[in-house]
Structure 1
Amino acid sequence: MNEIKIFCPATIANLNCGFDVLGLCLEGIGDEMIIRKSTEKGIKITKITGADLPLETEKNVAGVAALAIIHDLDLEHGFEIEIHKKIKAGSGIGSSSASAAGAVFGINELLGKPFAKHELVDFAMKGEAVASGCEHADNVAPCLLGGFTLVRGYNPLDVIRIESPSELYAVVLHPHIEVKTSDARAVLLPMIPMKDAIKQWGNLGGFIAGLYTNDYNLIGCSLNDVIVEPARKHLIPNFDEVKNTALQNGALGSGISGAGPSIFALCKGQEIAEKVAFSMSESYQNTGITFDIHLSKINPEGVTIITN
């Protein structure tokens, strides 16, 4: 196989209680990439559609991630990459992560899978750092592995994949404004009160327990963020109104998707998810800002090969 076409799904990171350690993979929302072998060494980005992103390999998240994996293998040949963006940059649903994860997944497939999926996360993080300023796996891990992922540690990297409860749905409202990850990180305090840390640890433990036991009530009451959301929510117009509307219409919980500006809600069952999606849309129309609304089950596969 000399060429591969892949679907690189969008993701939701942080999930309120799990800053930089929790993420989930979405269905039906994502980029497409075409990767082909080249006789020339190195990585060449040959085409980008749907976004104004750099073609220079060292400035592109997919290029940097791809370089990391081929340097590790010390290959005598290289790869060409086409990126067809459907996830808007700065949307808060893993645009850069989709590119980074897709690049390493595709190259790994073309090489006969020398690395397991879990091992690809480390390479993808190198690309993610181009966009955010630091290596973190809360988006690239669910994009590669599917389902929910928990980053238990970074040194060494330890990622745990968790199956999603069968009736869990995600709703994402994406305002057409940009919040750069680097800017969203800049507003965070370097130190937090111990009482807030204790609350956050409890919520994270409760959320993970809820996933494993299919306890939707526990999932809902654990979806609280006392550290990051208060610092970032002012970056998103009408955030509190949209979140409260989602909760009033049956959402288990709601919050900032990744660094924003997207707002997510988790729901039990498609009927409630549709009601929540409608209510969030109605609420945001008051801002005059255009937006997209997505309703999705949790994607169990992550990056996949397009066979048509």
Structure 2
Amino acid sequence: MSQPASLTVYAPASMGNVGVGFDLLGAALAPVDGSLLGDTVTISAANQGVHFQQVGPWAHKLPADAEQNIVYQCAAFFLQRFAVEQGVALTLSKNLPVGSGLGSSASSVVAALVALNAFLGSPCNQQQLLALMGEFEGRISGAVHYDNVAPCYLGGMQLMLDLPQRICEPIPAFTDWYWVVAYPGISLSTAKMRELMPAQYDRAVTIDFGRNLSAFVHASYRQDEALALAVLKDVLAEPYRAAAIPGYLQARAALAELGMLTTGISGSGPTLFSVCRDLPTAERAQQWLAQNYLTETGGFTHICRLDNEGARVLSPAHY
């Protein structure tokens, strides 16, 4: 197959942890209005080396030096690792805010590596590419974990196994759930939010964590919504992070009064997610969040389903 002149890859936003599954569960997001919530990377041939530029509403938050950008680093690694003689030109459209809790760095990494792999003849299989995604995303977040890159790449809701040849596996989702997400406009460092958590946990807490996560996975396979909602709670991170996210505790209480079924922190925050079964309730929640949770320029809220496609090459109509 001949090499295309260029291609653009979209990688969706994702929720790490999904509340109940710290570092072990993640889900990709698709706004119901059809908009794209995620980064894109466009790749084409160049004479030699890596040519890189960054555009988009959040590009100004990234390092000005191209060689410090994770997309540039992915490309430089790829050309060296697979002895590619031709150069590549990449354009990152940075559409996700940095430090948002929506898998911003994962989206850039996934879009870049999928684009490079597709453009250069697919030298990596799916598991090899996923392992690279975890490695590069870990350079940004401070630790290798797959709960953002896996759903961003593969779509849906993914459970992390972290076995040599089986990094993750999909689990069934509740297809009638609406996921309302709200980013207030501030950025929080993943590494600093991890520092808020204790180095060790009481035995009872770890038992609660294991019970809740296993029960949620069981409920997902049984499609037992009541059980899934009962255990969809975070006992490891949220108790220590909630107070560090301005307005989160007030929002959680208000959303419950509006009829939302459960609310949690997306990744390490400050984005929150809230779940319901019907669109009118989701719209009321979105309106409340827009008026009360979004505090800075650039904040946004979306009503989403889960994105079952994951990263993909866009048709020209989306470029």
Is this a same-fold pair by TM over 0.5? yes
1:230-268 Cα deviation digits (max 9, x unpaired): 111122112111112223333232111111111111222
After superposition, the Cα gap between the structure-2 partners of 1:49 and 1:107, relative to the gap in structure 1 and judged at 3 Å, is same
- Tell me if the contact between 1:122 and 1:157 (Cα under 8 Å) persists in the aligned partners: no
Aligned counterpart in structure 2 of residue 302 of structure 1, from 285, 301, 310 = 310
Contact 1:169 1:295 in 2 (8 A): yes
Is the contact between residue 45 and residue 55 of structure 1 (CA under 8 Å) also seen in structure 2?
Answer: no
RMSD: 2.1
SS in 2 for 1:278: helix
- The residue that corresponds to 1:273 in the other structure is 282
Quote the residue 1:26 is aligned against.
Answer: 29
Residue in structure 2 matched with residue 208 of structure 1 by the alignment: 217
How many angstroms does 1:117 deviate by?
A: 3.3
In terms of mean alpha carbon deviation, does 103-112 or 76-85 score higher?
Answer: 76-85
SS in 1 for 2:108: helix
Which whole-Å CA distance do the structure 1 matches of 2:56 and 2:14 have between them?
20
Residues 73-152 of structure 1 aligned to structure 2 (within 5 Å): 73-152=82-161
C-alpha distance in 2, partners of 1:10/1:305? 15
Residue 221 of structure 1: which of 223, 230, 237 is its match?
Answer: 230
> What is the percentage of aligned positions where both structures have the same residue?
29
| Cα offsets for 1:169-196 (capped at 9, x unmatched) | 2111111111011211121211111100
Q: How far does residue 141 in structure 1 lie from its aligned partner after superposition?
A: 0.7
| Residues 157 and 245 (structure 1), Cα distance of their counterparts in 2 relative to 1, 3 Å cut | same
What letter corresponds to residue 21 of structure 1 in structure 2? L
**Alpha-carbon distance in 1 for matches of 2:7, 2:74:** 17
- Rounded to whole Å, the distance in 1 between the matches of 2:11 and 2:120 is 19
Q: State the 1:156 CA deviation.
A: 6.3
Q: 2:53 aligns with which of 43, 46, 51?
A: 46
Distance 1:220 1:93, change over 3 A: same
Matched, 1:239 2:245: no
Q: CA deviation at 1:68?
A: 4.0
Runs of 4+ in 1 over 6 A off after TM superposition: none
Work out the CA distance in 1 between the residues paired with 2:128 and 2:171. 17
Q: Does 1:7 align with 2:7?
A: no
The TM-score normalised by the length of structure 1 is: 0.91
Q: Check conservation: 1:167, 1:270, Cα contact below 8 A.
A: no
Equivalences, count: 305
